């Protein structure tokens, strides 16, 4: 069993320093790097600064084979109902299957519907962007507001931000939080004659989205008094035609998707309409092409050269053996400033599970706590803990070689910081070196040096991946996002969990619905624990003072 072999191997390797691994193997950087090209874009996955040897990787990949990873990958692409608790296929890959090769769900080829919705998105976004789609007073649309939450928000926000250099005249806004401040602040910036609301919700029942949508419609009607013109200013993206119609949106302006697209995997579907409106359909299709290239790679590359597999298995290595609990994602490109927030849902909602597919409890911790910030801001905030704290935090550095904004020396500085961080995290700085430096400075006594030097030492040996891109383009972004989707999949398979349901989100939703009427009830809440009752009563004293 490779698990036993891995456990033994871990004992041998756990204290080996990467510094020595690099010293012993001058070919290490090349050996532990994979490059993937797609048209003029490329990605280099450099995983040489990890606490692994060739033997580690061989054992990890043997472990993956034992768990039949290849068969699971095929089952996903084929459209098997691998989301077993919801009895659904998982086919975000079909959304970017631009060659149109048939993909069957329950014997039906889904590709004609996928292509039809893409055509609808192309036609609609072109009408809006070209000024052919007019608002109720005959003016073109200037502002688009996506109202959605979770997967119906985070992907579109992240991508729209990342692709700002490709955006046109239309301004994109996003409202997700049920906090009235969010919708209020966005509507302040809008002209009711020239704005378009996209109500994005897979289920069209999500409390936050439905409340924000109703408030947006009230705001719009208060300003326009033109209920018959709602159809020119409100469109919907959903799987729920009935609820869309009931909301009052013309179903001709509804963009459909399907239950085999998970919310956090849906930016490639019509949920990406706000992206399309911002950057135009052609660039949206480029995003899909990037993802398609990663899909092909994931499905066909041998495990040894398969970037999502390597990345996922490194995740398993640190989680299952080193017991690392968190994972930092550090993009060195300001346009990727929402990338970590997006990944939090992708990774943590997918793999934050305590039960395996067969209903038994998991045997190892699952799902790292994912967090991060765009470089170099993070360096001046939390990198201290990554360098010298007591936790080992594996980190991904995303490094686009070209910038969209070549301003003076900025990009060279950004790159030098990124590379320096991975070097420092790996190499560290020994006590002897620190002492020698302090002695050479000649400012401190020998005893002062003894006390200060440990504070200035770095153990190093902190693992990092460096993901090099040519530039943040629609294509490379598509590759990058699909890489993480598949990495999360690989980890889920290894843990034997269902990465595609999200029952954990439900309990809070149910309890919030129960508490809502109690906040304005005439009598003191008594059905909960003492803390909850008291908190409800505090809110009640503000909301229904006359009731007290």
146 lines the binding site for ligand G6P (CB under 6 A): no
Residue whose CB is less far from ligand G6P, 209 or 319: 209
Segment interacting with ligand G6P (CB under 6 A) among 47-55, 199-207, 217-225, 479-487: 199-207
The candidate with the shortest Cα–Cα distance to 94, out of 482, 496, 491, 502, is 482
Q: Cβ 286 to ligand G6P, closest distance in Å?
A: 24
502 lines the binding site for ligand G6P (CB under 6 A): yes
Residue whose CB is less far from ligand G6P, 350 or 403: 350
209 lines the binding site for ligand G6P (CB under 6 A): yes
Residue 533 contacts residue 514 (beta carbons within 8 Å): no
Residue whose CB is less far from ligand G6P, 152 or 274: 152
φ, ψ (nearest 5 deg) of residue 254: -110, 135
Segment interacting with ligand G6P (CB under 6 A) among 104-112, 144-152, 329-337, 365-373: 144-152
Number of residues that bind ligand G6P (CB under 6 A): 15
183 lines the binding site for ligand G6P (CB under 6 A): no
Q: Cβ 512 to ligand G6P, closest distance in Å?
A: 12
What is the token pair recorded at 187?
């509507």
Residue whose CB is less far from ligand G6P, 258 or 335: 258
Which residue carries 């400075």 as its tokens?
441
As a whole number of Å, the CA-based R_g of the chain is 26
- Round to whole Å and give the CA distance between 489 and 351: 9
- Round to whole Å and give the CA distance between 262 and 88: 10
Residue whose CB is less far from ligand G6P, 202 or 338: 202
Rounded to the nearest angstrom, the gap between the alpha carbon of residue 179 and the centroid of all alpha carbons in its chain is: 23
187 lines the binding site for ligand G6P (CB under 6 A): no
Segment interacting with ligand G6P (CB under 6 A) among 146-154, 218-226, 374-382, 510-518: 146-154
Residue whose CB is less far from ligand G6P, 439 or 509: 509
Q: Cβ 271 to ligand G6P, closest distance in Å?
A: 8
203 lines the binding site for ligand G6P (CB under 6 A): yes
88 lines the binding site for ligand G6P (CB under 6 A): no
DSSP structure class, residue 140: B
Here's the x/- map for ligand G6P, 505-534, by CB under 6 A: it reads as: x-----------------------------
CA neighbours within 13 Å on the CB side: how many for 100? 5
Q: Which of 79, 151, 280, 394 binds ligand G6P (CB under 6 A)?
A: 151
Residue whose CB is less far from ligand G6P, 213 or 398: 213
What is the token pair recorded at 264?
């956090």
DSSP 265-330: G-TTTGGGHHHHHHH-HHHHHHHHHHHHHHHHHHHHS-GGG-HHHHHHHHHHIIIIIS---EEEEE
Q: Which of 67, 182, 202, 475 binds ligand G6P (CB under 6 A)?
A: 202
Helices (H), 428-505: 431-441, 446-452, 474-495
Q: Cβ 378 to ligand G6P, closest distance in Å?
A: 26
- Round to whole Å and give the CA distance between 457 and 184: 50
Which residues share a beta bridge with 427? Answer: none
The pairing of strands 143-147 and 195-200 is parallel
Residue whose CB is less far from ligand G6P, 93 or 239: 239
Here's the x/- map for ligand G6P, 25-64, by CB under 6 A: it reads as: ----------------------------------------
- Round to whole Å and give the CA distance between 426 and 420: 10
Q: Which of 56, 146, 194, 206 binds ligand G6P (CB under 6 A)?
A: 206
264 lines the binding site for ligand G6P (CB under 6 A): yes
Segment interacting with ligand G6P (CB under 6 A) among 58-66, 142-150, 179-187, 244-252: 142-150
Segment interacting with ligand G6P (CB under 6 A) among 69-77, 114-122, 202-210, 440-448: 202-210
369-372 β-sheet, strand order: 33-38, 41-46, 464-469, 395-400, 326-331, 369-372
DSSP structure class, residue 357: T
Q: What share of the chain is helix, strand, coil (3-state, %, to 5)?
A: 55, 15, 30
Q: Hey, is 338 helix, strand or coil?
A: coil
150 lines the binding site for ligand G6P (CB under 6 A): yes
152 lines the binding site for ligand G6P (CB under 6 A): yes
- Round to whole Å and give the CA distance between 83 and 88: 5
269 lines the binding site for ligand G6P (CB under 6 A): no
Strand stretches in 176-231, DSSP E:
195-200
Catalytic residues: 349, 380, 509
Identify residues 384-423 at the interface with ligand G6P (CB under 6 A): none
176 lines the binding site for ligand G6P (CB under 6 A): no
349 lines the binding site for ligand G6P (CB under 6 A): yes
- Round to whole Å and give the CA distance between 288 and 504: 30
306 lines the binding site for ligand G6P (CB under 6 A): no
Q: Which of 50, 194, 201, 464 binds ligand G6P (CB under 6 A)?
A: 201
DSSP structure class, residue 141: P
The pairing of strands 104-105 and 171-175 is unpaired
272 lines the binding site for ligand G6P (CB under 6 A): no
Peptide bond preceding 298 in cis form (omega within 30 of 0)? no
Q: Which residues bind ligand G6P (CB under 6 A)?
A: 148-152, 201-203, 206, 209, 263-264, 349, 502, 505
């Amino acid at each position: 069993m490779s698990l036993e072999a891995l456990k033994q191997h871990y004992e041998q390797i756990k204290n080996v320093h990467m510094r020595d691994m690099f010293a012993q193997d001058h070919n290490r950087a090349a050996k532990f790097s994979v490059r993937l090209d797609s048209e003029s874009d490329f990605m280099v996955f450099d995983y040489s600064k990890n606490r692994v040897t060739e033997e580690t990787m061989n054992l990890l990949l043997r472990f993956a084979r034992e768990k039949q990873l290849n068969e699971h990958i095929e089952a996903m692409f084929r459209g098997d109902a691998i989301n077993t608790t919801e009895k659904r296929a998982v086919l975000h890959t079909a959304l970017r299957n631009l060659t149109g090769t048939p993909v069957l769900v329950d014997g039906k080829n889904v590709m004609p519907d996928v292509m039809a919705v893409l055509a609808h998105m192309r036609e609609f976004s072109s009408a809006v962007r070209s000024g052919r789609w007019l608002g109720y007073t005959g003016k073109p649309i200037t502002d688009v507001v996506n109202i959605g939450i979770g997967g119906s928000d985070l992907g579109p926000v992240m991508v729209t931000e990342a692709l700002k250099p490709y955006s046109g005249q239309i301004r994109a806004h996003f409202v997700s939080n049920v906090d009235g401040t969010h919708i209020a602040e966005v509507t302040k910036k809008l002209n009711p004659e020239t704005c378009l609301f996209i109500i994005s919700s897979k289920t069209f029942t999500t409390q936050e989205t439905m409340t924000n949508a109703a408030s947006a419609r009230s705001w719009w009607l208060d300003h326009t008094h033109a209920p018959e013109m709602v159809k020119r200013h409100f469109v919907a993206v959903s799987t729920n035609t009935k609820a869309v119609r009931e909301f009052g949106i013309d179903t001709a302006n509804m963009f459909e998707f399907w239950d085999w697209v998970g919310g956090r995997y849906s930016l490639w579907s019509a949920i990406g309409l706000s992206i399309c409106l911002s950057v135009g359909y052609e660039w949206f299709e480029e995003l899909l092409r990037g993802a398609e290239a990663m899909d092909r790679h994931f499905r066909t590359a041998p495990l040894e050269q398969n970037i999502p597999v390597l990345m996922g298995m490194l995740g398993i290595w640190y989680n299952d053996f080193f017991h690392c609990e968190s994972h930092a994602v550090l993009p060195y490109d300001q346009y990727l400033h929402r990338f970590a927030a997006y990944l939090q849902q992708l990774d943590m909602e997918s793999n934050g599970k305590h039960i395996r597919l067969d209903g038994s409890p998991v045997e190892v911790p699952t799902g790292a706590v994912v967090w991060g910030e765009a470089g170099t801001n993070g360096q001046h905030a939390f990198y201290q803990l990554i360098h010298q704290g007591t936790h080992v935090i594996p980190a991904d550095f995303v490094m686009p070689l070209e910038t969209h904004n070549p301003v003076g020396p900025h990009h060279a500085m950004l790159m030098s910081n990124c590379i320096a961080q991975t070097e420092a995290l790996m190499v560290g700085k020994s006590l002897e070196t620190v002492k020698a430096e302090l002695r050479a400075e000649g400012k401190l006594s020998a005893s002062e040096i003894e006390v200060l030097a440990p504070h200035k030492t770095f153990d190093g040996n902190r693992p990092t991946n460096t993901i090099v891109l040519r530039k943040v383009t629609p294509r490379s972004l598509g590759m990058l996002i699909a890489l993480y989707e598949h990495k999360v999949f690989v980890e889920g398979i290894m843990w034997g969990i269902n990465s595609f349901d999200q029952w954990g989100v439900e309990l809070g939703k149910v309890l919030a619905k129960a508490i809502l009427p109690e906040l304005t009830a005439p009598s003191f809440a008594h059905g909960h624990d003492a803390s909850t009752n008291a908190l409800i009563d505090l809110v009640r004293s503000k909301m229904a003072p006359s009731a007290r």
